[in-house]
Amino acid sequence: MKNNKNTINIDLKQYSMIIILVVVYLLFALITKGMNMTPASVNNLVMQNSYVVILAVGMLLCVLTGNVDLSVGSTVAVSGAAAGIAIVDMGLPSPVAIVLGLLVGLGFGLFNGFFIAYVGIPPFITTLATMLMGRGLTYTVLAAQTKGPLPNDYNFLGSGFLPSIKIAGNMELICIIVAIAVSALVVFNELKDIATRKKYGFPGHPMWQLGIKDAVILVIVWFFMIRLGQNRGLPVVLILMAILVGLYHYITSQTVAGRQIYAMGGNAKAAQLSGIDTKKVFFWVYTNMGVLAGLAGVVLSSRNASATPKAGDAFEMDAIASCYIGGAATAGGIGTVIGAVVGAFIMGTLNIGMTLMGLGTDAQKIVKGAVLLGAVTFDLVSKRKK
Amino acid sequence: MSEYILEMKHITKEFTAVKALDDVNLQVRPGEIMALCGENGAGKSTLMNVLSGTYGYGTYSGDIVYNGETCQFHSLRDSEAKGIVIIHQELALSPYLSIAENVFLGNEQVKMKGVIDWNVTRAKAGELLKQVGLGDENVNTPVIQLGTGKQQLVEIAKALGKKCDLLILDEPTASLNDEESMGLLMLMKELQKQGITQIIISHKLNEISFVADAITVIRDGHTIETMHKDVDYSLDTPESYKKLEDRIIKSMVGRELTNRYPKRHGITIGKEPIFEVKNWNVYHPELTDKKVINNVNLSVRPGEVVGLAGLMGAGRTELAMSIFGRSYGSNISGEVYINGKAVNTHTVAAAIDSKLAYVSEDRKTYGLVLIDSIEFNMTLAAMSKYFSKNGILNRNEEKLKSEEYRKRINVKCNNIEQVVGSLSGGNQQKVVLAKWMLTQPDVLILDEPTRGIDVGAKYEIYEVINELAASGKAVIVISSDMQEIIGTCDRTYVLNEGEICGELSGDEITQENIMGCIMTHNNRKGAAS
């Protein structure tokens, strides 16, 4: 084996879920004769998935500690209901309603975090309890009725688009600008990375492999942006999602707080003896999850233009499944934000693909279950081989 | 009938690209106790796993001839059917089940298919316990309530409950104290009289020479030599014992270690203590009226290596952990001074800030995040202080420092991104050491720093200890290995039942004096009560 100066091959396993996502997407394109690639379908993929992505990002942190949060679906419902009541019954302006929705989420998060971290109740039990309480609370405050319709300025968050500027071929200018900006960013980051490696003499990957990796990313970005541009432009939730994903990716990979979550999930005792306040970590992970669930609740109600008591039903399962499909370990300490997002998109792709094939939600659930089991089995078996 | 009960011929076992065993031969005669020694990673456990069928027939090449018959074991069950029983280093007991249930775990005594006969189970378990010297224990006691030493004996009872002609013990005394170890070795001799052939894997040369009739040394997957008692070596005089020990070590490490403890040069010990603990009292975390540490006072000067000697359960780890961020105990009182200033060590983070470091006893449970990389682990404790700014990590600095320490203390690995769980025990221990060196402490407490690691790695760790002392730091070594205390420390405190019962320095530090302190203290306590 030749190991010429300081290069290591890219480990394909690291990108296996992205490859699976692409394969699944192309497979459905074949089955539905390209119907899942139409501008409207691509737009749907983004918009229908937005709350799952928001939840999956927060859920990943819980999963990293080796636990889950079962209460997020109920929190979504309660915070949506709170915003709905604020607007419809109390006549408060939309921004206030949004803040209220987030505060309700924060409340749930603090409640969970307190019992888990400082009373020592296992997260599964604590959040099972708040899941039941939250759902009951939603039905009570909404009197089992749907609250709506909600005003347009509120709905903008979940179903709005950035202002339209059309250019040639019915294309939204903003999408092209974003695509160019992202491309520049990807290339810039790669160059910066290479420069750092050179400067410190860290081993890097061969240039041609980096090239392929970046090319794939850029193709995906441009495909999405062009399709969205042919539709109605850039959805507001996509921007929200991008900011959240970027932020949490940064937190988990580049900050002390993120590292502490990984250390605690990998070995809580060792983390404690290394000076990490594991209770504090637990507390903030669950509080954060509450806030994100609140946000997802606001986004969902604004997309539906109403708050319903059934909202967010079983969302916790979608979020948890996304994390595991994205390569997180049930024991904790392993998983990435990007993985969870890819997991969420794999499920979204399946949903839309099957809907376009004419399969009902019942059949979709069977397939989703099978995919979850399959993904984790694949992950486990491929690790065992080593 | 051949001369041997067991012959392993030309055993070669490969893991992906690595030859763990390369043409290994092992011959065991009926009724003898064979000791298998070698450094960690030499292939001892792999060889025993091949023998017991854990690595089934077909995954290795070579022959296993047992009782004159070439065997093909596909699983543990196959080898057990032939009377080969292995007791692993990590005990295979179910903690909340009773002794009796554990003794017959996987070998249940049944009335009819699948229904347990409790009377027979308890009666037979009782007999087996008597055989291993646990006759006083209630067979209904959950094993978690027993100490490690007794659990080890339950394992042996479990083995005897099966058809057992060849018993393999993988480092049976690793977590036992001297007394318990002695008891176990005597039991092995007893079992030998009953005609049970035994193979013992151990690092402890004194135990091996005491119990074994033959010694086989393995290094890097090769058999180096087999020595038979009274043919190749004798133990008549202390000199002949020393000769044997040197020979084993030489075979194990492949070079002569003229001294197991590196000499220390040019270290000047300061006058003023850098680290002091005054009037330290600790109560048990659950039984809050039970005092675990009673009025301990100690001090260490810069450049000094101070031992905490004592028997297992003397309270050394409890003392260290209670000082380090109050990680153990309740109702703690007392003061800690570093550089003459009273410091706050109420939390681990505060203790680290005060320049105190504690390298824990059990690296896998308390020291390392096994699923993460060398780099991740090395920088974990120093992360907030030295590898980040405003909560943002400096990943480049992390890489540079980890790389520097990897070289400095010679961690054998592919690169710093390797997962620590895949390293050998000695290298894992080095990673833990590096983790604490990176917090730039003034005072390091090392709890059993060389437990379960091989002679070569031990030597390297002693060198690091010397280096730390030379740079003016205070080092406290907690060790159950009295030789280690004698070999590494300038001075030692002796702990017994949570109290300091003696302080020895220089040439006074001998095994006799340490034991003397403990005995006198025990007598005094006995007289007082």
Band (B252; pLDDT cuts 50, 70, 90)? confident
Q: Is the pLDDT of residue A385 over 60?
A: no
Task: Please answer whether residues B292 and B309 qualify as being in contact, where contact means their C-beta atoms are separated by less than 8 angstroms.
Answer: no
- What tens digit of pLDDT does each residue of A33-42 get? 989 899 999 9
Min distance A122 CA to chain B CA atoms (Å): 20
pLDDT at position A3 is: 41
Listed by start position, the domains of chain A span 12-160+235-379
Closest to B213 measured CA to CA, from B225, B197, B194, B224:
B197
Out of A254, A262, A386, closest to residue B372 by CB: A262
Q: How many angstroms separate the CA atoms of A310 and A318, rounded?
A: 15
- Most confident segment among A47-61, B144-158, B197-211, B286-300: A47-61
Task: For chain A, say whether B325 makes contact (Cβ under 8 Å).
Answer: yes
Q: Is the pLDDT of residue A259 over 90?
A: yes
CA–CA distance from A54 to each of A40, A57, B364 (Å)?
Answer: 21, 5, 35
What's the distance, CA A383 to chain centroid?
25
Out of B352, B365, B388, closest to residue A256 by CB: B388
pLDDT at position B526 is: 65
Closest to B452 measured CA to CA, from B155, B147, B176:
B176
pLDDT at position B527 is: 67
Q: For B372, which residue in chain A has the nearest alpha carbon? A: A266
Task: Please answer whether residues B302 and B355 qualify as being in contact, where contact means their C-beta atoms are separated by less than 8 angstroms.
Answer: no
Task: For chain A, say whether B414 makes contact (Cβ under 8 Å).
Answer: no
pLDDT at position B455 is: 77
Mean pLDDT of chain A: 91
Q: Which helix (H) or strand (E) holds A325?
A: helix A315-325
> What percent of chain B has pLDDT above 70?
97
- Across the range A40-65, mean pLDDT stands at 94
**Peptide bond between residue A149 and the one before it cis (omega within 30 degrees of 0):** yes
Convert B350-393 into a string of H (helix), E (strand) and C (coil): HHHHCCEEEECCCHHHHHCCCCCEHHHHHCCCCHHHHCEECCEE
Out of B347, B391, B396, closest to residue A196 by CB: B396
Q: Is the pLDDT of residue A7 over 80?
A: no
Task: Please answer whether residues A51 and A76 qualify as being in contact, where contact means their C-beta atoms are separated by less than 8 angstroms.
Answer: yes
Task: Please answer whether residues B500 and B494 qualify as being in contact, where contact means their C-beta atoms are separated by less than 8 angstroms.
Answer: yes
Min distance B32 CA to chain A CA atoms (Å): 38
Closest to B49 measured CA to CA, from B99, B57, B463:
B57
> What percent of chain A has pLDDT above 70?
97
SS3 call for B19: strand
- Across the range A87-99, mean pLDDT stands at 95
Question: Are B348 and A273 in contact (CB < 8 Å)?
Answer: yes
Residues of chain A positioned with their CB less than 8 A from the CB of B347: 275, 277
- The ipTM (two decimal places) reads 0.86
Q: For B377, which residue in chain A has the nearest alpha carbon? A: A263
Band (B320; pLDDT cuts 50, 70, 90)? very high
Note the residue count of chain B: 529
**Number of alpha carbons in the 13 Å side-chain half-sphere of residue A8:** 11
Mean pLDDT of chain B: 88
Residues of chain A positioned with their CB less than 8 A from the CB of B366: 269-270, 273
A117 or B286, higher pLDDT: A117
Task: For chain A, say whether B348 makes contact (Cβ under 8 Å).
Answer: yes
Question: Are A263 and B372 in contact (CB < 8 Å)?
Answer: yes
Band (B257; pLDDT cuts 50, 70, 90)? low
Q: For B397, which residue in chain A has the nearest alpha carbon? A: A200
Residues of chain A positioned with their CB less than 8 A from the CB of B384: 256, 275
Q: Is the pLDDT of residue B422 over 90?
A: no
Out of B369, B391, B392, closest to residue A263 by CB: B369
Q: Is the pLDDT of residue A386 over 70?
A: no
pLDDT at position A95 is: 95
Task: Please answer whether residues A307 and A147 qualify as being in contact, where contact means their C-beta atoms are separated by less than 8 angstroms.
Answer: yes
Out of A202, A256, A329, closest to residue B383 by CB: A256
pTM: 0.81
Question: Are A273 and B358 in contact (CB < 8 Å)?
Answer: yes
Question: Are B383 and A259 in contact (CB < 8 Å)?
Answer: yes
| Contacts across the A-B interface (CB distance below 8 Å) | 83
Please name every residue paired with B14 in a beta bridge, in sequence order, or none if there are none. Answer: B19
Task: For chain A, say whether B376 makes contact (Cβ under 8 Å).
Answer: yes
- What tens digit of pLDDT does each residue of A20-35 get? 889 999 999 999 998 9
pLDDT at position A338 is: 94
Q: Burial of B459 by CB count in 10 Å (0-12 exposed, 13-18 middle, 19+ buried)?
A: middle
Question: Are B372 and A200 in contact (CB < 8 Å)?
Answer: no
Q: Which amino acid is at B242?
A: K
Residues of chain B positioned with their CB less than 8 A from the CB of A262: 369, 372, 376
Min distance A167 CA to chain B CA atoms (Å): 41
Lowest mean pLDDT among A64-78, A117-131, B16-30: B16-30
Interface of A with B (CB under 8 A): 196, 200, 202-203, 254-257, 259, 262-263, 266-267, 269-277, 329, 333-334, 386
Band (B354; pLDDT cuts 50, 70, 90)? very high
- What tens digit of pLDDT does each residue of B433-466 get? 999 999 999 999 999 998 878 778 888 899 999 9
- What tens digit of pLDDT does each residue of A196-244 get? 888 887 778 888 888 898 999 899 999 999 999 998 889 999 999 999 9
Please name every residue paired with A166 in a beta bridge, in sequence order, or none if there are none. Answer: A172
Most B CBs within 10 Å: which of A6, A269, A274, A276, as the mutation test of the B interface?
A274
Q: For A276, which residue in chain B has the nearest alpha carbon? A: B349
Band (A2; pLDDT cuts 50, 70, 90)? very low
Domains delineated in chain B = 6-90+164-253 (3.40.50.300), 269-355+443-451+481-529 (3.40.50.300)
Out of A263, A277, A386, closest to residue B380 by CB: A263
Lowest mean pLDDT among A336-350, B182-196, B237-251: B237-251
- Interface subset of B 444-483, CB within 8 angstroms of A: none
Supply the DSSP symbol for A117: I
pLDDT at position B234 is: 82
List Cβ<8 Å contacts ≥24 apart for B465-470.
B465/B305, B466/B262, B466/B264, B466/B267, B466/B305, B468/B437, B468/B444, B469/B264, B469/B267, B469/B303, B469/B304, B469/B305, B470/B264, B470/B265, B470/B266, B470/B267, B470/B303
Q: Is the pLDDT of residue B135 over 70?
A: yes
pLDDT at position B41 is: 67
- What tens digit of pLDDT does each residue of B148-164 get? 788 888 999 999 988 88
Q: How large is the C-alpha radius of gyration of chain B? A: 25
| A12-160+235-379: in CATH 1.10.3470 | yes
Most A CBs within 10 Å: which of B327, B371, B420, as the mutation test of the A interface?
B371
Q: Burial of B158 by CB count in 10 Å (0-12 exposed, 13-18 middle, 19+ buried)?
A: buried
Lowest mean pLDDT among B173-187, B373-387, B494-508: B173-187
Q: For A270, which residue in chain B has the nearest alpha carbon? A: B366
Q: How many angstroms separate the CA atoms of B82 and A173, rounded?
A: 78
Residues of chain B positioned with their CB less than 8 A from the CB of A273: 324-325, 327, 348, 358, 360, 366-367
pLDDT at position B3 is: 83
- Interface subset of B 3-32, CB within 8 angstroms of A: 16
CA–CA distance from A4 to each of A1, A7, A200, A235, B415 (Å)?
Answer: 9, 7, 18, 47, 16
Pairing of the two strands B222-228 and B491-496: unpaired
Residues of chain A positioned with their CB less than 8 A from the CB of B348: 272-276
- Across the range B467-488, mean pLDDT stands at 89
Task: Please answer whether residues A267 and B369 qualify as being in contact, where contact means their C-beta atoms are separated by less than 8 angstroms.
Answer: yes
Closest to A348 measured CA to CA, from A373, A376, A319:
A319
Question: Are B376 and A333 in contact (CB < 8 Å)?
Answer: no
Residues of chain B positioned with their CB less than 8 A from the CB of A333: 369, 371-372
